[in-house]
Amino acid sequence: MWFYLFRLVIMIFVAILVLLCLRFIPRLRQRKTWEKIIGFVAIEIILFVILQYPFENLFFHFETPEEAFTYSHFGATVQTIVEEESCAFVVYSSGSPIVKIDVIEKGDHGWNINRPGAKHKDGYKLWTSTDASNNVKVFSLKMVQSNQSNQLFVVVHRYEFNIPPSDITEVYDNLSSSFQLYTERSDNWYTEYHYTVLDMARLDNDYQIYVEGKPIDPFKDLALDEYM
């Protein structure tokens, strides 16, 4: 949240300063109106682009990945944080059953913030399943890799609307990885996800994840560049 507020204050301050210069500096005051408007808009656009860089990392760091995440995300609810040696994987939502993933990197002096919307090496795929009562389950596989390590965060996500969940989905892989479980229920939906951290050095073309006994190839037909 503070990421946005701090930049908003800077943009308002610069806007006021530019308007005062246009009003009281004779050379600028004599400019045509359209020149003033173009100049003002250009300055604000350039400033907006520059401020997307998380320059806070040059001056201070955070003690925990949750503090770093909260600083740079507005309206997000943290559900799970998996902390590793050089990074932390954060699963969060914004008031819906859809979960998103972010990676908080760790520097020499603490945890760094990300530029909102920063991309990581990621991918996802969607599919559905119908049970004996013709209830549709929506599944997604999401994977995010840290930019500074070989660790891969894998999430198998399931959600349903207006249907009481009948059971917990069985999720496992052929490496006997330990998948952790998170569930949440509301009046209108149910969400469930299983997650684990894998070392990319252990993975090969034969790696498989099984969801409800069905093999899922995590590296085939992935959609890329989703904001995780």
- Structural domain tally of the chain? 2
pLDDT computed for residue 65 by the predictor: 94
Based on the fold, state whether residues 40 and 133 are members of the same structural domain.
no
Tell which residue, 163, 221, 222, has the closest CA to residue 189: 163
What residue numbers bound the domain in which 36 lies?
A: 2-52
- Walking along the chain (228 residues) 10 residues at a time, the average pLDDT comes out as 84 94 88 91 92 87 92 87 92 85 90 74 83 80 86 91 75 94 85 93 89 87 58
85 and 44 in a common domain: no
On whether both 153 and 46 belong to a single domain, the answer is no
Same domain assignment for residues 10 and 101: no
Rounded distance, CA 228 to CA 221, Å?
Answer: 17
On whether both 46 and 86 belong to a single domain, the answer is no
| Under 8 Å between Cβ of 51 and 11 | yes
Give residue 46's pLDDT.
94
Which H or E run contains 45? helix 33-50
User: How confident is the model at residue 118, as a pLDDT?
Assistant: 64
Tell me, yes or no, whether 58 lies in a domain: no
Tell me the Ramachandran region of residue 162: left when phi exceeds 0, alpha when psi lies from -120 to 50, beta otherwise.
Answer: left
Q: 70 lies in a domain?
A: no
Is residue 43 included in any domain, yes or no? yes
Closest CA to 79 of 157, 7, 188, 2: 157
Question: How high is the pLDDT of residue 227?
Answer: 41
Residue 16 lies in a domain: yes
Indicate if 94 and 183 belong to the same structural domain.
yes
Q: Structure pTM?
A: 0.80
